[in-house]
Structure 1
């Protein structure tokens, strides 16, 4: 049996009841093309193979990928790949139906992976992920709360988020030091706040929360004058957690940012 590797942030789910609950939460039909991220030893895979004939497994650990191929190769396509660099378009089914993504996400890549997936939402229909509970709380946080931050803004612009249930450390080998939470994400038909240059929006959000204890005037001082903030109805003395997703969109549009996410006024 493959031993967990710390460098991949591996905590293998062993509770069969929890695995079944996670798969049921994805409401998979035989017509769905499903991508499981980080299948590990196959706790979810065992349930997924009977749910759809279009199943793809993306596993970075080549030893685990080989074991999965040996066990499930006749009913799933195994990709020995880094999901952070995975092109989900390549596994779209013949019917072109958006993908269902599911997985117990490694704690060490969950935030960058969620951000990366936002760039491929045109081929994603819904997602069910198990995350570190702290990350799930941040995902679902609203403006004005302590947990509201960059991840909250970026993901909430594009997806409706539902926290489903918590999972105790005892459900894993080795047990993590924290609880996990299963969440469901469904892309909005239209992103909150309307059209915006996504690169520019991402930059403003990143910069604002990089110094969240500072006011917006100070956090964005290199390229955002008070006049731009006031034009959007934003007090320069506010802190970033006081702004809604829509307010960040308005600010990014008011600043006029180019397609590379650079502010023309700052970068020339």
Structure 2
């Protein structure tokens, strides 16, 4: 697709143009005519137009009005597009559907807002069926990391209760115009209505994980001093001398059940 509009650096725009990558992404999404499809960031329509060959309508969330105006000129049947010229971080996804577990969210996310946007989407997990997104490879690696590695951290643990994450494929810089300075990865994310493990107090879990990984080189005994005693940490089967990067999300969930008022007051 020829570049007809200049990308704006302030919006983190990198337009996907590689037909091979677009084809792989469409195959990974596997659209169905009945899908309630929502695209975040349509760009020049590289993904929108192929999706419209299958789905009846697409809801497009795009902050840059130049892009939606371009898209409307490109699509013959304009009734098949529902345009939301707004910041995706401000969108109430609950209002985009009247059914639970129905929205299929896709997009090439701007790298500068990808992490907060994922957390925003999880606020509406009851209505989202799945999410296929292009992310900075480093972020995708952190989301899918396992305990014990350098990529495992706060992002991994915070998302773990609420999503099943699967890597689809990696994408080189040349697939975009202009090429970003980093590699990208397409992830398939399936939100969970109920957490993967018992999690009665989400705010306390968040506070505990943030506290531990703010001092990731320290052991739990040191990083959680004043929050948990060595005896409490040991009681759930964790060695107090363990560093947070070796503690599983499920284990953090168990730790979050102790001294809940302490976590809340220091979060």
Common fold: TM-score over 0.5: yes
Distance 1:87 1:214, change over 3 A: same
Deviation at 1:3, TM superposition (A): 1.0
TM-score relative to the length of structure 1: 0.90
- Report what 1:237 is aligned to: 241
Q: CA deviation at 1:87?
A: 0.9
Paired residue for 2:49?
A: 46
Confirm or deny that 1:82 pairs with 2:87: yes
Instruction: Give the structure 1 partner of residue 36 of structure 2.
Output: 33
Residue segments in structure 1 that go unaligned for 5+ positions in a row: none
Query: 2:10 maps to what in 1?
Result: 7
Matched, 1:56 2:55: no
1:54/1:89 CA distance change after superposition, 3 Å: farther
Cα deviation code 1:203-258 (max 9, x no counterpart): 21122112212222332334333333223222222111111111111111223259
Whether the 8 Å CA contact 1:68–1:78 is kept in 2: the answer is no
Deviates more, 1:172-181 or 1:66-75: 66-75
- Provide the C-alpha distance between the structure 2 equivalents of 1:101 and 1:133, rounded to a whole number of angstroms: 19
Which blocks of at least 5 consecutive residues in structure 2 are unaligned?
none
SS of residue matched to 1:131: strand
Query: Secondary structure of 1:151's match?
Result: helix
1:192 and 1:245 in contact (8 A); partners too: no
Q: C-alpha separation between the residues in 2 aligned to 1:32 and 1:97?
A: 11
Aligned 1:115-134 pairs, distance under 5 A: 115-134=119-138
Aligned to 2:80, the other structure's residue is in SS state coil
- 1:96 positional shift: 4.6
Q: In the alignment, what sits opposite 2:212?
A: 208
Match of 2:96 in 1: 91
- Is the CA contact 2:125–2:193 (under 8 Å) kept in the aligned structure 1? no
| Number of residue pairs matched by the alignment | 262
Q: Distance in 2 between matches of 1:56 and 1:201?
A: 34
Is the Cα contact below 8 Å between 1:132 and 1:181 reproduced in 2?
Answer: yes
